Chain A
Amino acid sequence: MTVADSAFSDMSAKPVTGQPILQVAGVSMSFGAVTALADVSMRMAPGEITGLVGDNGAGKSTLVKLIAGVLQPSSGTILFDGKPAAFTSPAAARNAGIETVYQDLALAPNMPVWANIFTGRELTRGPRFLHVLDRKAMIERTRAFLSRYDMNVPPIEGAVEGLSGGQRQIIAIARAAAWGSRLIIMDEPTAALGVAETRAVEAVIRSLRAEGHSILIISHNLDQVFRLTDAIWVLRRGHMVGSARTQATTPNRIVAMITGAAEAVGGGSDGRA
């Protein structure tokens, strides 16, 4: 399959009904003597936005890195779309359909928007061995793709360093969504943004869900988690201490789980989230 076939497909992100898109089962992770995650389990329903919350050092970043293929678990299994997902690298995870939007966005500021969208997946033309860039095709596709979302399309051919923080965030998110990814992981997607820009980014996240993408959001901002998510999972000191359907719980209960004031409130870690 070539990039051209899969890129920007409307259909590729449609969920398979019934089966969880992601299942983490009994995963532990140690760095030397330090245990970052202990027997952690969670599941994500397809086509939903799932929130992952917890205090600093609770193990959120480690869990995300395990899912994204940056790290490999010491023990336990991760199933993606029902299949074992022992990714040895971020590239392997991407190829399987898991995209990550990093907190620092991982954009090249010197490069135009289209080049950032296509980083590592450039379209080429002419004799195969030359790998001559097909700029025109990449610019056109980027423009068509970005205009699908309800947002101001930034200048496609301008360098990313000329864009606002919100625009950059949208570029990074759009890139994750552009490649037919089934699962998009977002690490603090609006941490550095103002109110208006946060709303714009949240709108894009919702439209991704509407297209069928499954989304895992890590956020410190509980208001945002309650605005966006369908389910919430709580990590505390390396343990998964609880989970809840968002509509069935309250910020106070989640805070209680995060701080340890209450264990297993709102459904507990029984995997029914």
Chain B
Amino acid sequence: MAVHDAGQAGASAWLKRNGVFVALAVLVVVMAIAAPQFATAQNLTNVLQQNAIIGVIACGMTFAIIIGGFDLSVGSTAALSSVVAALVITATGSIPLGLIAAIGAGLVVGMVNGGLIAFLRINPFVATLGTMTMIRGLVFVSTNATPVFGVPFGFTALGLGKTMGVPNLVIVLAFVAALLGFLLHQTRFGHHVYLVGGNARAAAVMGIRTARLRFWSYLIVAVCAAIAGILLVGQTASGQPQAAMGYELTAIAAVIVGGATLGGGKGRMLGTIAGVFLLGVVSNALNLLGVSPFWQPVATGLILVAAVGLDRVRDDAA
């Protein structure tokens, strides 16, 4: 039987596992040389802050992708949560009640998505495309497509403020990432998510309750989206019905760039975070270098294709 090759194969495996970190490090070094404004504390803080909200969504999305699906409804759910939070805060004057209601809205969405996918076995693309469209519609109906103003302005301390020099959004992201990273990598629950993503039938015959696991994964995604919605309120002191459009694809892209595959069973929380910031640093770099906004989507698309393409090339070579 084959002997495990610790030489060349090991190096290639290492690169495959850590490619996103290498790419991020290289990009940061190149930018530090190319643009004097890049490596300032202020700019780096901004980059962290700008990508914190999408980062929270991507942390949740990591579970859906590893278990072999994805969730297109996260952008709509974030908008729903922001509107629910703003409506409840303005109606009751109580911020905690607004936050509970927003998280509750996320839980409801998660239960619907999870129920459709895990128990009714509807394809995740179809199920979450449906809820994405439906939720956005309900948000427009309930707000007449108008932002909900009247959240106390002090609430923007969450979205714009800092604690000891660190943006509060970044603290929230670190908290969410650490918690979900622990859940994914250290607990039996996360371990089972990988097993189901790798071979759902095998996991089922070995006694793992795959449907429940899927259900919980989509609940996690939706709660993360709801947290992101609250953070959006923290930036504008208002509920924005049209907010977070397209976030679902950015989040999925970040998770994939971070080393996950759409087939499931692969990916890491740290990889996701690196993926989020790789895309974020690219966008920041293009702005700092004054690249025309027409070209920016091209660059983002190239990175996504390159990340997935290199993965395939290394797979075929192995």
A–B direct contact (CB < 8 Å)? yes
| B202 engages A108 (CB within 8 Å) | yes
**Which residues on A sit within 8 Å (CB–CB) of B187?**
130-133
- Cα separation A109 to B265 with both chains bound (whole Å): 9
Q: How far is the CA of A166 from the CA of B201 in the complex (A)?
A: 21
A91 CA / B301 CA spacing, docked (Å): 46
Contact size class for A?
A: 35 or more
Known A-B contacts A110-B194, A133-B186; the reply to A164 vs B205 at CB < 8 A is: no
Interface string of A145-176 (1 = CB under 8 A from B): 00000011011001000111011000000000
User: Given that A91-B207, A152-B1, A154-B1 are contacting pairs, would A106 and B201 also be in contact in the complex, using a CB cutoff of 8 Å?
Assistant: yes
* Alpha-carbon gap, A215 to B121, bound state (A): 36
B266 close to A (CB within 8 Å): yes
Interface size, chain B (Cβ < 8 Å):
22
Q: Please, how many angstroms separate the alpha-carbon atoms of A90 and B210 in the complex?
A: 14
Contact check, A94 vs B201: say whether CB atoms are below 8 A apart.
Answer: no
Which residues of chain B (190-209) have a CB below 8 Å from chain A?
A: 191, 194-195, 197-199, 201-203, 205-208
Q: How far is the CB of B263 from chain A (nearest CB, A)?
A: 9
Any chain A CB within 8 A of the CB of B119?
no
B57 to chain A, nearest CB (A): 24
Let me know if B175 is at the binding interface, CB within 8 A: no
Return the contact of B199 from the options A109, A121, A158, A200 (Cβ within 8 A): A109
Closest to A170 in B: B1
Q: Are A110 and B203 neighbours in the complex by a CB distance under 8 Å?
A: no
Most A-side CB within 10 Å, residue of B191, B194, B208? B191
* Bitwise interface map of B from 194 to 233 toward A, beta carbon under 8 Å scored 1, else 0: 1101110111011110000000000000000000000000
- CB-CB under 8 A from B4, the residues of chain A are 154-155, 158, 162
Q: A67-101 toward B: CB 8 Å interface, digit per residue (1/0)?
A: 00000000000000000000000110010000010
B203 partner residues in chain A, CB cutoff 8 A:
108, 119-120
Q: Per-residue CB proximity of B84-96 to A under 8 Å, as 1/0? A: 0000000000000
In the complex, B313 has a CB within 8 A of chain A: no
Q: Does A249 contact B (CB under 8 A)?
A: no
Is A122 interfacial (CB-CB < 8 Å)?
Answer: yes
Q: Among the listed A110, A154, A163, which residue makes an inter-chain contact with B265, where contact means beta carbons less than 8 Å apart?
A: A110
Q: How far is the CA of A129 from the CA of B112 in the complex (A)?
A: 26
Does residue A102 face the partner (Cβ distance < 8 Å to B)?
A: yes
Chain B residues lying within 8 Å of A158, measured Cβ to Cβ, are 4
Asked if A198 is at the interface (CB within 8 A of a chain B CB), the reply is: no
Q: Is the pair B1, A167 in contact by a Cβ cutoff of 8 Å?
A: yes
Q: Is A144 an interface residue (CB 8 A)?
A: no
- What does DSSP make chain B's interface, helix, strand, loop or mixed? helix
Task: Please state if B198 and A120 are interface contacts (CB–CB under 8 Å).
Answer: no
Nearest B residue (CB) for A152: B1
Tell whether, in the assembled complex, residue B194 and residue A119 are in contact, meaning their CB atoms are under 8 Å apart: no
Does A111 count as interface, using CB distance less than 8 angstroms?
Answer: yes
Minimum CB distance partner of A108 in chain B: B198
B198→A111 contact, CB < 8 A = yes
Q: Would B188 and A133 count as touching, CB distance under 8 A?
A: yes
- B164 at the binding interface (Cβ < 8 Å): no
Minimum distance in angstroms from A255 CB to a CB of chain B? 32
Contacting pair B191 A122 (CB below 8 A)? yes
Q: Mark A102-122, 1 if CB is under 8 A from B, else 0.
A: 101111111100010001111
Q: Which of A110, A119, A167, A200 contacts B208 (CB 8 A)?
A: A119
In the complex the two chains form, is A110's CB within 8 Å of B197's CB?
A: yes
Residues of A within 8 A of B208 (CB): 119-120
In the assembled complex, the CB of B153 is this many whole angstroms from the nearest CB of chain A, namely 40
Inter-chain contacts of B317 with A (CB < 8 A): none
Query: Given the complex, which residues of B lie within 8 Å of A102, measured CB to CB?
Result: 205
Of B1, B188, B189, B198, which is within 8 A of A109 by CB?
B198
Bound-state CA distance A106–B208 (Å) is: 12
User: Which residues 95-118 of B have a CB within 8 angstroms of A?
Assistant: none
B1 near A124 with CB under 8 A, answer: no
13 interchain pairs, CB-CB under 8 A: A104-B201, A104-B202, A106-B199, A106-B205, A108-B265, A109-B265, A110-B199, A111-B194, A120-B207, A132-B188, A151-B1, A163-B2, A200-B1
- Listed from nearest, the 3 A-B pairs whose CB atoms lie closest are A108-B198, A110-B265, A106-B202
